[in-house]
């Protein structure tokens, strides 16, 4: 019997993508299509006094311009399906004249052609009463507030008695680590096409959550949810910024309703720096007390971050300190400052990526102070149980990750003295860090149909952002039905399919995968039941326990020569298909086990001792994420996460004009991200042991763990090469100089 789960098969959507046949949101076209281009505020705070669109309306092909003066009321979305369906910012678009950030929507130009819309947008004159904006977090700490909760968990987090343990500690450390604003910049910019058919609305959308998008749009327009359909067959990256719904989607829907024609609203690269979220900056002060042997007795993790005046978002950087190591006395504290910038949102491993840069850098500093190997230090503080809840881990192989990673990297050959290792004329640096991400899962549904042509069809209202969901859905169904994956077709990205959660929190495989498995089992059971009730079948009145599926046939377990194809059974009974549908709701909150993924990363850098240029030479990442569904797509995900961590460590930083609040580097020429020439050899390996308690497949998500720990491993390698500790990302040559 073939085992398809875990096999490194090619992507189901690979050929479509490389040949350009995959249809992304902006690729759909319709007759009488109208184009919409947003009008953005050029100041960060103020009030619109007047919008003069007279010159813009003279451009041939311009139909109308939506502003706060002619846009009807939108309505907020209701919470649904386990996670709140919501707008990216609380303020609904074009509902008043107040300006809260540069780049805020002030209107939308609607025209017959894209060129006309773009030309008209430049001619719209906006008169604004400007006010001094609040743009700098550090200079406005007097206005900071302390949030009371984070995802329903009360704040601050207090464990033990930090003050007493810190005062008694033999070794004390206190350092500040800062991370800048980062923007997601997926390859595919956001787009939305709205098409009305009578009372029904179809949206072709680039989204990480077709069900959530449907709910938000329906609620905002006061439509029954069954009247709205979201299509998102392919998503060219999201990383969090396509998780919630932003103003352009509501405005395309409203415009199409008013104009009674399809409307396409396209965002350019510069729009992605203003209206669809970002990772907020953090200033993290870590205070640590430890024994001379390396056991940490006290840790305080104080994070200062920012949100907007039109939304609420917290970068939970203290989560890693709370959930990773055995720190008996802990304080996790947050302060948030409201700034005249757009609302932050989830960005790959929100909180864990920024928090682990600080925590894993601090542990590296402690290892040098105590002259203890960095791996040994982490093992001294290893948590045998979840440090916050005290629950046993459902599965934890962090020690194995550290051991395998150290062996593959050659860590035993490391000279611990900074600046002691050389490669030619360059300083060689080795660094390591631990990775982690919580094990999340949500309710998920799927439908599997067995068809008369000996193929099967899998349906779920989930999404594939390039993570491989099309492929893994096929593999799970193939395993249960004993059909080759090429005989199974996956259908997703359509809100009319069985509901599934957001593709975020690394939970798509853990939530949708078990639903596909259960649906396939139901479909197969229906096939067996049909056969044993069929007088013309070889299996008439047989016990179901005597039968099994094999390569598109139903066979006797004891005599495989007696077989009937799936198609023969369906055709003989005049059945167009046999289907199974499953809704899997995990046992949450689970009071028996704690679920978390772990990993270890190792980095090697080469630093020019005179010019201080940094070259990343190689990386090793070992990850424990439960059972691997597809080794090829899993490696791709882990490598992609590590590359994003390289960007965080060495390149990415959004720069604001502190007078206007506008983003200065709002393009991929000035906003630096790693390119192929910057990427070293990356060696990825998985523990690949099923988590026996998380779900029926034993699988946890891996979309985000790859970025966690990367920045710290690189920063620690830079210190080892140079003896210079950089605590402010990104690490650049001028900081080393």
DSSP string for 40-94: E-SSSSEEEEEEE-HHHHTSTTEEEEEETTT-----PPPPBTTB---BSSSSPTT
pLDDT at 81: 44
Assigned CATH for 32-132+187-237+242-273: 3.30.365.10
Q: How many residues does the chain have?
A: 737
Q: What is the pTM of this model?
A: 0.97
How much is the average pLDDT of 452-481?
A: 97
What are the pLDDT digits (tens) for 34-44?
Answer: 999 999 999 99
| pLDDT tier at 72, thresholds 50, 70, 90 | very high
pLDDT at 1: 53
Asked if residues 78 and 72 have their Cβ atoms less than 8 Å apart, the reply is no
Q: Are 435 and 320 in contact (CB under 8 A)?
A: no
- For residue 475, is pLDDT > 50? yes
Higher-pLDDT residue of 3, 709: 709
Per-residue pLDDT, averaged over 18-42, amounts to 97
Kindly give, in sequence order, each residue whose CB lies less than 8 Å from that of residue 726, ignoring residues fewer than 6 positions away.
Answer: 715, 718, 719, 735, 736
Euclidean distance between CA atoms 221 and 245, whole angstroms: 14
pLDDT digits (tens, 9 = 90+) for 556-576: 999 999 999 999 999 999 999
Write down the pLDDT at residue 82. Answer: 47
- Which one of the listed residues 315, 360, 604, 704 is annotated catalytic? 704
**704: annotated active-site residue:** yes
The residues spanned by each domain of the chain are 14-19+442-584, 32-132+187-237+242-273, 282-440+590-736
What one-character DSSP code corresponds to residue 280? Answer: P
CA angle 302, 304, 305 (to 5 degrees): 140
Q: Which residue has the tokens 């509501």?
A: 250
| Domain 282-440+590-736 grouped into CATH 3.30.365.10 | yes
Report pLDDT for 83. Answer: 47
Cis status of the peptide bond prior to 156, with omega within 30 of 0: yes
Rounded to an integer, what distance in angstroms lies between the CA atom of residue 103 and that of residue 40? 5
Say if residues 708 and 437 touch (Cβ distance below 8 Å).
yes
In terms of C-beta density within 10 A (0-12 exposed, 13-18 middle, 19 or more buried), how is residue 103 classed? buried
CA distance 236 to 464: 9
**Cα–Cα distance for residue pair 248/262, rounded to 1 Å:** 14
Q: What CA–CA distance (Å, rounded) separates 232 from 238?
A: 12
pLDDT at site 79: 62
Q: State the first-to-last Cα distance of the chain, in angstroms, to the nearest integer.
A: 61
Q: What is the pLDDT of residues 580-594, one digit of tens each?
A: 999 999 875 568 999
Name every residue whose Cβ is closer than 8 Å to that of residue 420 and which is 6 or more positions away in sequence: none
In degrees and rounded to multiples of 5, residue 157 shows phi and psi of -95, 120
CB atoms within 10 A of CB 129: 12
Cα separation, 343 vs 307, in Å, equals 6
The residue to which tokens 């002619």 are assigned: 70
For the stretch 81-94, pLDDT in tens is: 444 568 999 999 99
pLDDT digits (tens, 9 = 90+) for 611-652: 999 999 999 999 999 999 999 999 999 999 999 999 999 999
CB atoms within 10 A of CB 531: 24
Looking at residue 590, its pLDDT comes to: 63
Tell the residue number behind the tokens 């989930």, with chain if given.
462
150: confidence class by pLDDT, cuts 50, 70, 90: confident
Confidence of residue 80 (pLDDT cuts 50, 70, 90): low
Strand partners, 339: 308
For residue 357, give every residue at least 6 positions away whose Cβ sits within 8 Å of its Cβ, in sequence order, or none: 177, 179, 648, 649, 711, 712, 715, 729
Q: Which of 550, 575, 577, 576 is nearest to 564 (CA)?
A: 550
CA distance 10 to 630: 9
Architecture of domain 14-19+442-584: 2-Layer Sandwich (3.30)
């Amino acid at each position: 019997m073939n085992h398809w789960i875990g096999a490194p098969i090619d992507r189901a959507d690979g050929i479509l993508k490389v040949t350009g046949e995959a249809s992304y949101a902006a690729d759909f076209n319709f007759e009488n299509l109208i184009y919409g281009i947003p009008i953005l505020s050029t100041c960060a705070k103020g009030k619109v006094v007047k919008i003069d669109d007279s010159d813009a309306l003279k451009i041939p092909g311009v139909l109308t311009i939506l502003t706060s003066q002619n846009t009807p009321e939108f309505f907020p979305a209701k919470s649904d399906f386990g996670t709140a369906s919501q707008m990216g910012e609380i303020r609904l678009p074009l509902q008043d004249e107040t300006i809260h950030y540069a780049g805020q929507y002030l209107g939308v130009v609607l025209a017959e052609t894209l060129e006309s819309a773009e030309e008209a947008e430049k001619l719209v004159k906006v008169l604004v009463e400007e006010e001094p904006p609040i743009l700098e977090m550090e200079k406005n700490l007097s206005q900071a507030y302390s949030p009371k909760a984070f995802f329903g968990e009360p704040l601050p987090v207090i464990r033990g008695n930090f003050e007493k343990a810190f005062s008694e500690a033999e070794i004390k450390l206190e350092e500040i680590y800062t991370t800048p604003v980062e923007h997601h910049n997926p390859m595919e910019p956001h787009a939305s096409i709205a098409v009305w058919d009578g009372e029904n609305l179809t949206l072709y959308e680039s989204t990480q959550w077709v069900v959530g998008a449907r709910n938000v749009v329906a609620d905002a327009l006061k439509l029954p949810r069954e009247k709205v359909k979201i299509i998102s067959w392919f998503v060219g990256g999201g990383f969090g910024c396509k998780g919630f719904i932003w103003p352009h989607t509501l405005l395309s829907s409203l415009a199409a309703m008013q104009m009674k024609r399809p409307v396409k609203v396209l965002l350019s690269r510069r729009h992605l720096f203003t209206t669809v979220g970002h990772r907020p900056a953090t200033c993290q002060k870590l205070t640590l007390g430890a024994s001379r042997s390396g056991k940490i007795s006290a840790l305080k993790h104080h994070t200062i971050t920012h949100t907007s005046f039109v939304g609420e978002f917290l970068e939970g950087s203290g989560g890693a300190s709370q959930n990773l190591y055995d720190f008996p006395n802990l304080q996790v504290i947050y302060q948030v400052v409201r700034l005249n910038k757009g609302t932050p949102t989830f960005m790959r491993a929100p909180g864990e990526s920024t928090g682990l840069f600080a925590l894993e850098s601090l542990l590296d500093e402690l290892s040098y102070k105590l002259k203890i190997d960095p791996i040994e230090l982490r093992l001294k503080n290893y948590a045998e149980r979840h440090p916050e809840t005290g629950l046993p881990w459902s599965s934890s192989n962090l020690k194995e990750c550290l051991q395998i990673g150290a062996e593959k990297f050659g860590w035993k050959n490391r000279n611990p003295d900074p600046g002691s290792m050389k490669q030619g004329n360059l300083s060689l640096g080795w660094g390591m860090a631990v990775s982690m991400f919580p094990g999340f899962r949500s309710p998920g549904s799927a439908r599997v149909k067995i068809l008369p042509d000996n193929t099967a069809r899998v349906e779920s209202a989930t999404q594939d952002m390039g993570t491989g969901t099309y492929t893994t859905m096929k593999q799970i169904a193939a395993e249960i039905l004993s059909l080759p994956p090429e005989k199974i077709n996956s259908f997703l990205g359509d809100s009319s399919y069985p509901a599934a959660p957001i593709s975020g929190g690394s939970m798509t495989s853990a939530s949708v995968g078990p639903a596909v498995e259960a649906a396939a089992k139901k479909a197969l059971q229906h096939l067996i039941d049909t056969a044993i009730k069929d007088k013309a079948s070889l299996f008439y009145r047989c016990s179901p326990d005597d039968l099994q599926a094999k390569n598109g046939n139903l066979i006797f377990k004891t005599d495989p020569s007696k077989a009937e194809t799936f198609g023969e059974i369906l055709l003989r009974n005049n059945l167009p298909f046999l289907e199974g549908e499953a809704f899997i709701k995990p046992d949450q909150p689970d009071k028996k086990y704690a679920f978390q993924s772990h990993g270890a990363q190792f980095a090697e850098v080469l630093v020019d001792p005179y010019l201080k240029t940094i070259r990343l030479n190689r990386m090793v990442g070992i990850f424990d994420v439960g059972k691997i569904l597809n080794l090829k797509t899993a490696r791709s995900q882990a490598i992609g996460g590590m590359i994003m961590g390289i960007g965080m460590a060495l390149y990415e930083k959004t720069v604001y004009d502190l007078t206007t609040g506008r983003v200065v580097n709002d393009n991929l020429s000035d906003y630096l991200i790693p390119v192929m020439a910057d990427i070293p050899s990356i060696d990825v390996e998985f523990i690949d042991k099923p988590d026996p308690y998380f779900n029926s497949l034993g699988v946890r998500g891996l979309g985000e763990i790859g970025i966690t720990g990367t920045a710290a491993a690189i920063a620690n390698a830079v210190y080892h090469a140079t003896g210079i500790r950089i605590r402010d990302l990104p690490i650049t040559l001028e900081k080393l100089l």
